[in-house]
Structure 1
C-alpha cells in the first residue's frame, strides 16, 4: 500500500472556483500533508484560498510567492504535525522551508523546496545558481520538487529535439547538491501539449538527498493522472509491504562480546513465559 505524504503539481492557474475545487479533490484524495503548487497565477493568497484548494486547511500553515500578473506563483501548504518550519526563503522561482520533518515514527531536519523554474534557458540557469547558493548555507538533507521546465536526458522528451547543453546544466545542478532522482512510476512523461502531433516531456519531479532515503528507504515518486492541467501531479509516497514475521539473524561476532550471556539471561528473565520467537 502506498502512503502519500507529499504532492507537487503545476496547476496552471487557480483563479477559477472550479479549478480550486478540482485541486482540493485531488489533494484530499491523495492524503498528502505537504503540497508544492506551481504556476498558481494568484497575486495574493489568504486563508480562504487555502481552504478552497486544500482538504486539510483547518490546521494547515502555508507560505506563498505571488504571481507577476498572470505568470508564475507558488504555494507551499503543510501540516504542522508533519513538518515544523522554523525558517524560509521565498522568491519568484522557489520556496525553501527549513525545519523538521516528522513522519512514520522518524524525524529529520531538512529543507523542503518548491521549484518553478523559468522556461527560458538563461533565466533557468540563474534560478539553479541562486538555489544552489541559498541551499549551500544549510547542512541539511533536501526534498525538492516542482516543475523544472527541462528534462534530464533525451529519453524524457518526445516530439521535439533534446537540448543537450540545457540538460547538462540541469544534471550538473542535481549533482552539485548530491540529489537523487528516483525512477518515476505511473508514466514516462509529466507534461503534454495535447496536440495532434504530441510533444511530451518529463518536466516535473522530486529530487531527494541520500540521507532522506537512508531514513525512509521505501520512498517512491509516482505520476497521477492529468486532470485540470497539462502537467501530471507527482506524489512522493512510501510503499508499505507486510512480508510476515521478520527473520532473526545470528552474527558470530556477537560471541566475542563478554556481556552476551548476561544480555541473553536478562532478556529471557524479562520475557519469562513468552515464546522464543517473541523473545528473538
Structure 2
C-alpha cells in the first residue's frame, strides 16, 4: 500500500495481535490514526511523510513493546499529552509539533524541538534519542544528537537503524518504485542507487560536513556541487552546527553544480557579495583583526569555453576591487602540469597543453600563490581507483600570507565524496632554539674577525666537548648580535641620515663651496652609504638565495617573495610515518628519533654476499702478457708498421 491515498485507518475493532510494524510512510492523504490498543506487539510505527496527519490516538504511546516512532514531516500533527510510560527509545519529531508528545517515566521526554537536520520535505525535522532528552526542551534547541551514535542507554536497549541503514532504506524505496514502473538503473544492485544520492541532498554527506566543521574548527566553509536549487536556513544551520553563521549561495541548474559559502558571523561581518556563473564571492570585515578580505568559492564546468569565461570574470572582479587579502578556493576542473593528473587519457581532448597554459596564465595574472598540498598529491579520485587529478586548489595573495604567517593546505581523507576536502591551516608552533648563523656581510668589516677571536678565547666552560661547543656558540651568538645591531642596526634610519648629510653638503658646495675638511667628510659619508647599501643588498640576497636579475633589484617584489617562498619550503609542517601523518614539534621529534634509533640499532640482520657468483676473468697468460715490459724488438716492429706516409707525425722521445 505504499503511497496510498488512504485518509483514515481502522476504527479499532480489528484484532491486531500479529501486527509488529506499522509502515505508513508517505501516506500524504492520511489525516488520522485511530485506536491501536488491540496491537500489543507493535514495535515500530513509521508515519514519516504523512504531511496531512492531524490526529494521533493516545493508544500509540501506550504500546508496551513500541521501540520506534517516526513522525518526520508531520507538520500539522496535533498531539495529546499522555502520562502512561512507554519504552520508546527513539522519537523523531518536527517543528510543527507544539504540544507534549509523551512523558517517559524516569526520563521525562517532553516536546523535543531540535535543530532541523534530517529528511522532512520542508527541512524542519531532526532525530532525537529520548535517553538524552530533558524535560521542557522547547523551541530551537542546539544540543541534539543523531541516532547511530554511542548513547548512554539502559542495558539491553539498542537504537534501531543507523544513518547508513536509513540511507540504504531510501535506496531500496527507490528500487521498489522503479520496479513498479518498469525502469532500470545502470549499475549493480543498490550500491549505485545509494551512491547516486549525491550533493547536499544526502544525509550522510551533511553529517560528514557537520563533523568536519566541528573537528577542524572552521571559520569559513566552501562547498561545491550542492545540486540544490534552493538552500534553506535549516540546511545551513544543520551543516554549520549552530546559529553563529551567515551564508551566500549560487543555485544549481537542475541536478548540476551549485555553490554554498558559510562563514562564522562572530568573527567576520559581511560587507557585500558578488556572484557570477561558477563562483560566489564575499567581502568580509574581520572583526577581531580589523582587516578586510575577499573570498571566492569556485566551481568550474568541464567545458573549456566556460572555464575561460569564468577565469575572465574572476580576474575582472579582482582587478575591480583592487589588491588586498584575497583567497580563491574551489574546484577549478583544471590542472597546471601533466604531473597533476594520472590514469586519464587526454588524447580525446583538443589540446590539453593549451588549457594548462591558459590556466597558468590566469593564475599568473591574478598574482596569487598556489598553495602546495600536504598529505596527498591529488584531490579527485575516480571510482575505478586508476584515474586521479589535482582539480581542487587554494590561491592566496601575498598580503594574505603576510597577515597570517606560515600557512599550508592539508588534504583530508575523503569518504563519501570523490573529492578530498582541503583545509587551510596556520602554523605558529615553536620548534625550539634556532641554529647558529650570522649574515655574510659581517665578514666585510675589518674588526669582525677580532671580535670573534676575543670572544672565543674569553669563554671557559667545563664539561664534555659537545657541551663546551654548544655554550661557546651560544655566547658568540649574543656578542655577534650586539655587534651587528651596533654597527648595522637601523639600516633604513642610517641610510636616511647619510642621505640628508650628503644633500646638505651638496647644497653648500653649490653656493659657497666646501673647505678641505668638508670635502673629506663628504667622501667619507659616500663611502659609508655605499657600504651600507651593499650590506642591505647582501642581507636580502642571503635570505632569498636567488640570483640577481638586474642591478639594484633588491627592493622588487620578486626577491621579497623569494624570501617568503624559501621560508615556506624550509618550514616542517607535518611528517608522514608508516602509521600516518603526525604534526607538531613533539610528535615530529618522537617520530624522527624513533626512525633513526631503529635505523642505527645494533640488531643483526642478513647482509647479502657475493659468494658462489662466478665473474668473467682473464687467464694467467693474458694477465702476464698485458703487464709485461715492452721489448726493443716490439718497439721496432711497431715503428715499421706505424711510420708511414699516412702517419708522418710519429715522434719518439728518448730518455
For the aligned pair, the TM-score class normalised by the smaller chain equals 0.7 to 0.9
**CA distances 1:124-150 after superposition (whole Å, capped 9, x unpaired):** 111101111122111223111000001
Instruction: Return the alpha-carbon distance in structure 1 between the equivalents of residues 290 and 433 of structure 2.
Output: 25
Please say if 1:23 is aligned against 2:193: no
Matching residue of 1:60: 245
SS at the partner of 2:215? helix
Give 1:96 shift. Answer: 0.8
Matching residue of 2:329: 145
Please say if 1:111 is aligned against 2:294: yes
Matching residue of 2:356: 167
SS at the partner of 1:64? strand
Higher relative helix content:
2
SS at the partner of 1:86? strand
Matching residue of 2:221: 35
Please say if 1:79 is aligned against 2:264: yes
Matching residue of 2:374: 185
Pairwise mapping of residues 186-205 of structure 1 onto structure 2 (< 5 A)? 186-195=375-384, 198-205=386-393
Matching residue of 1:268: none
Please say if 1:136 is aligned against 2:136: no
Q: Report if aligned partners of 2:282, 2:296 keep a CA contact under 8 Å in 1.
A: yes
SS at the partner of 1:206? strand
Q: Larger radius of gyration, structure 1 or 2?
A: 2
Matching residue of 1:46: 232
Q: 65, 86, 93: which is aligned to 2:278?
A: 93
Instruction: Return the alpha-carbon distance in structure 1 between the equivalents of residues 339 and 419 of structure 2.
Output: 18
Q: 230, 235, 239: which is aligned to 2:427?
A: 239
Give 1:72 shift. Answer: 0.6
Give 1:243 shift. Answer: 3.5
TM-score, normalised by the number of residues in structure 2? 0.36
Please say if 1:224 is aligned against 2:412: yes
Instruction: Return the alpha-carbon distance in structure 1 between the equivalents of residues 291 and 363 of structure 2.
Output: 21
TM-score, normalised by the number of residues in structure 1? 0.81
Give 1:100 shift. Answer: 2.3
**CA distances 1:186-222 after superposition (whole Å, capped 9, x unpaired):** 10000010205x1100000110001111111211011
| Long gaps (5+) in structure 2 | 1-196, 347-351, 435-476, 495-655
Give 1:26 shift. Answer: 1.8
SS at the partner of 2:415? coil
Q: Report if aligned partners of 2:380, 2:389 keep a CA contact under 8 Å in 1.
A: yes
Q: Which moved more, 1:12-21 or 1:119-128?
A: 12-21
Give 1:82 shift. Answer: 2.5
Instruction: Return the alpha-carbon distance in structure 1 between the equivalents of residues 354 and 490 of structure 2.
Output: 57
Matching residue of 2:15: none
Please say if 1:155 is aligned against 2:344: no
Give 1:91 shift. Answer: 2.5
SS at the partner of 1:98? strand
| Long gaps (5+) in structure 1 | 1-10, 259-280
Q: Report if aligned partners of 1:41, 1:72 keep a CA contact under 8 Å in 2.
A: yes
Q: Report if aligned partners of 1:67, 1:92 keep a CA contact under 8 Å in 2.
A: no
Give 1:14 shift. Answer: 0.5
Give 1:25 shift. Answer: 1.2
* Greater RCO, CA 8 A, separation 6+: 1
SS at the partner of 1:14? helix
* Aligned pairs, number: 244
Q: Report if aligned partners of 2:331, 2:393 keep a CA contact under 8 Å in 1.
A: yes
Q: Report if aligned partners of 2:245, 2:266 keep a CA contact under 8 Å in 1.
A: no
Q: Which moved more, 1:68-77 or 1:236-245?
A: 236-245
Q: Report if aligned partners of 1:12, 1:38 keep a CA contact under 8 Å in 2.
A: no
Give 1:165 shift. Answer: 0.8
Q: Report if aligned partners of 1:152, 1:170 keep a CA contact under 8 Å in 2.
A: yes
Give 1:254 shift. Answer: 4.7
Instruction: Return the alpha-carbon distance in structure 1 between the equivalents of residues 310 and 220 of structure 2.
Output: 23
| Residues 210, 102 of structure 1: alpha-carbon distance in 2 compared, 3 angstrom cutoff | farther
Q: Report if aligned partners of 1:38, 1:74 keep a CA contact under 8 Å in 2.
A: yes
SS at the partner of 1:136? helix
SS at the partner of 1:137? helix
**CA distances 1:80-127 after superposition (whole Å, capped 9, x unpaired):** 232222011013310111122356xx4432210100011111111111
Q: Which aligned runs of 4 or more in structure 1 are off by greater than 3 angstroms?
A: 243-250, 253-258
Instruction: Return the alpha-carbon distance in structure 2 between the equivalents of residues 42 and 179 of structure 1.
Output: 31
